[in-house]
Structure 1
């Protein structure tokens, strides 16, 4: 081997070692963000699933009624709030990357104002749940039973406003491990309280819903103590009058963020409504909601990578590094896809036992089992799609994703679901195939979009946005929360 060949080999080996090092460093950063977020979201959503499990063993009507409220009205509300809260994720992430740390607390307060007003506007949906469901054509028994359950969700609305925005505020500065531990503690408390109130005290539906509310607010109190208690000295400097100014840009970004998430979450709600029109609606809704809730639980894992993608993209855009953005995207997609393959395998192995976690009804279990192949495929696709949405969120491109969701879900997914479910008489299976068609289409379009995005241009856009909304630190920003 001559000197030239030796030199080329050394360069190649050094480059390979550098690549491994870069992947290792990036992976550690991703997991530092993703793991607490996965822990938080899986346990938070787990409280919803645990509540459904306890209600399912009370009776099929209770299970179906809860499923209707949770997947239609709560998902509708949750879609709006989490979508609008993702504006906090974009702004705080880019501000942290640019070193504008004091602005993060101001963005958090602005989000509380905007999201709090939005939550109050949504209250009538829960107060008038029964007539709304009757208008939508749901069975009378289910609509009436769902009314009292809906009222129990009202305290949860405001806990969502505080919890989601603080979580995004903390994860943008890589301090979201506390959120994961608080969420885990709340989940454990919820399981214990549900067992105590439902099984021991025999409080039924009221016991299950009271447990979910108490557990949710325990987490909120813990988050507030962490932020106000001095653990975020650079990013939380007290309440500021600046939070009440420049709300319009936050509202605009929040609306586009809300539209992006809402169009996705409402898509599943519409399919639940459609399941209510199939033969034997109670079994159809119960079966579909079981699949949808497990799908949603797995989606919480993928949302951890959505968060990691959003934070890494927004941080690097704030720093002005397009090359680092592209490397982070490749690493996150590879990690998330690998986990999706593992979860898909587990789903196929245990496909016949899944339903018994939620119901003792043989007919419900049989229907869920018949959906297993399509359900497992949904799990696999789900490992990619949220990451692509997270990339767009980190870049502040929520409005673009909103249009993609509109076309994929409502122009393709729902029509296919209607055709296969009712015209081809495949019932729930047809609806699930329609669901998958929309998700697969959205993933393909977003994949092409991310591939073709000019990240140098996105760096310039992020810099212009941050400079336009920058507020100089003042004495007011150093005010104590108790003195404000």
Structure 2
């Protein structure tokens, strides 16, 4: 590489950009100003608002399916609900979790303007999800056999098997849909996703009516309508990308490159998947435990109502989690760790605000909410008793869900997975079993277990997030995306801790390497410096 190529252009724009980054690094030692907070609220709202609306619309789609199953009869509702639980555990949670591995790569690549990496990550993730569909489809095909082996009712199992079989194409739809959502969100393109989802769900209602009741397809009609709606979402998103041209900057032709670097992507995707599945599966375990309580039909029915309500409330912290993952990834990739830190503060404040709102409304409407779902007085009474506990759980759920988004955006999903494992299975499960069965508290004991799990999870996640060294994470982002501003970062940050001292030491070593090896190339030296830095910081 020639000397002329390696010199940075000393233009006013470049100088201004350097000054902004120096100011941002210096801001790590200061409290954010009111104007910075307001600016971040505006940026967060641009992403979180449409994403929350999209989540709510998708929730309505599942509610329409459940309502149609209920209109077909009790057997159809029971079989469909059993199938939905099974497909969530074995399929949708896995695909959603694997797709979440794109968050840090695409978010940070967008911030560092590494457009090619964004396109390649999309292609690789789609292929990974399609590969994951093979074993998942084998489970779905054999659902009826598996459930009969476990001693489930034959008639309910037959309905569940039918629903699951007709839902198989949905694996293909989700293998494309989930990566597309992360791909667009990482670039701040969220409003079109909201409208595409709304249009698909708007069609979903008449589609169910025609297939289920006009054509008398019954349970298969409900499954086909759900699959059709997801393919409509894919079609609308791809059409938007094609006609708007937003794909041009990041798209790369399909080639053998999409079959490479799977290990590095899987190192993020698998922990993300593990973290998602651990939490989703715990709710299914709680439903199973409710079936062993006295009057199991009342306990299970109440659990179904409360989990549906929790899913509704989850739309908003999930939107915050997705948004902060994008914001943190973008700012770290752009070498602005100070702004990433501000994004975390603002989003956590919003999470606590939403949590308190949930506590208030679940307490005020605890005697009325259950009437939207049933008229059974026993179920209504148990629902009213448990709803305040469910609201208290949100005090942990909202901040921990948001905090997990921070961990994803900063490429630390394995930390989130370990916290979820310890909180839900080593804290929540023993407490739930002990209080519900050993101490005789009953149904409310299960929710006390969830409260303990969410509290432990929130405390652990917040402890990790609030102790984050953002300069260190910015350097990791440069390594992940192959950025070329490593030297700028290590020179701008004044060391004040062990890790940041290692950053400074790596910067000095990097400068020495440039002097000694004029023709080695900036990118190669940056990689060496990154490795030296990581070794010193361990």
Q: TM-score, normalising length from structure 2?
A: 0.79
Aligned pair partner of 2:440 in 425, 437, 440:
425
Q: Residue deviations 1:426-478, cap 9 Å, x none?
A: 343222221222112101110111111212111111111211999xxxxxxxx
Indicate conservation of the 8 Å contact 2:59/2:312, yes or no. yes
Instruction: Determine which of 153, 177, 182 is the counterpart of 1:163.
Output: 177
Spell out, residue by residue over 1:205-249, the C-alpha distance to the aligned partner (whole angstroms, 9 max, x if none). 333323222212110111122234423221124434321111221
Give RMSD over aligned pairs.
Answer: 2.5
Deviation at 1:138, TM superposition (A): 4.4
Q: Would the alpha carbon gap of residues 196 and 52 (structure 1) be closer, same or farther in structure 2, given more than 3 Å must change?
A: same
CA distance in 1, matches of 2:90, 2:135: 13
Q: Does 1:143 align with 2:157?
A: yes
Q: Deviations over 1:260-289 (max 9, x none)?
A: 111111111222222233334444333212
- Partner residue of 2:90 out of 76, 84, 98: 76
Partner of 2:493: none
* Contact 2:101–2:269 under 8 Å retained in 1: yes
Aligned position for 2:194: 180
1:7: which partner in 2? none
Cross-structure match for 2:107? 93
The 2-side partners of 1:196 and 1:52 are apart by: 16
Question: For 1:35, which of 49, 66, 77 is the aligned residue?
Answer: 49
SS for the counterpart of 1:79 is helix
| Candidates 301, 317, 326, aligned match of 2:341 | 326
Tell me if 1:291 matches 2:306.
yes
Moved more, 286-295 or 51-60: 51-60
1:67/1:289 contact within 8 Å kept: no
| Conservation of the 8 A alpha-carbon contact between 2:298 and 2:378 | yes
Give 1:407's match in structure 2, choosing from 412, 416, 422: 422
Q: Is the 8 A contact 2:211 2:217 kept in 1?
A: yes
Specify the SS of the correspondent of 1:383.
helix
Calculate the TM-score normalised by the size of structure 1: 0.87
Q: 1:117 to 1:140 in 2, by over 3 A?
A: same
Residues 47 and 187 in structure 1, CA contact (< 8 A), matched pair in contact too? yes
| CA distance in structure 2 between the partners assigned to 1:123 and 1:356 by the alignment | 37
Measured at CA, do residues 132 and 363 of structure 1 come closer, stay the same or move farther in structure 2, by a change above 3 Å?
Answer: farther
2:225 matched residue in structure 1: 211
Q: How many residues are matched?
A: 455
Are 1:190 and 2:204 counterparts? yes
Partner of 2:471: 456
- Aligned counterpart, 1:367: 382
State whether structure 2 residue 78 is matched by structure 1 residue 64: yes
Task: Give 1:202 shift.
Answer: 5.0
Check whether the contact 2:107–2:330 (CA below 8 A) recurs between aligned residues: yes
* 1:335 aligned residue: 350
| Rounded Cα–Cα distance in structure 1 between residues aligned with 2:441 and 2:32 | 53
Residue 81 of structure 1, CA deviation:
1.2
- Selected match of 1:392 from 407, 423, 429: 407
Q: Which residue pairs with 2:362 in the alignment?
A: 347
| 2:61 aligned with 1:47 | yes
SS in 2 for 1:40: helix
Shift of 1:129: 1.7
The answer on whether the counterparts of 1:228 and 1:236 sit within 8 Å (CA) in structure 2 is no
* Structure 2 alignment gaps of length 5 or more: 1-29, 484-522, 525-538
Larger of the two Rg values belongs to structure = 2
Inter-CA distance 70–154: structure 2 relative to 1 (3 Å threshold): same
Shift of 1:53: 2.7
In 1, the alpha carbon distance for the partners of 2:154 and 2:422 equals 33
The question of whether the paired residues in 2 share the 8 Å contact of 1:53 and 1:357 is answered with: no
Select the residue among 134, 137, 140 that pairs with 1:120. 134
Q: What is the distance in 1 between the residues matched to 2:399 and 2:472?
A: 24
Cα 1:355–1:20 change in 2 (3 A) is same
SS in 1 for 2:80: helix
Q: Which moved more, 1:97-106 or 1:18-27?
A: 18-27
Structure-2 change in CA distance of 1:400 and 1:17 (3 Å): closer
Kept in 2, the 8 Å contact 1:96–1:172? The answer is yes
1:382 corresponding residue in structure 2: 397
Q: Compute the displacement of 1:162 (Å).
A: 0.9
- 2:474 and 2:238 map into 1 onto residues whose CA distance is 33
2:394 & 2:137 partners in 1: Cα distance? 33
Name the counterpart of 1:224: 238
Structure 1 contact 71–268 (Cα < 8 Å) conserved: no
Instruction: Structure 1: state its 5+ residue gaps.
Output: 1-15, 471-484
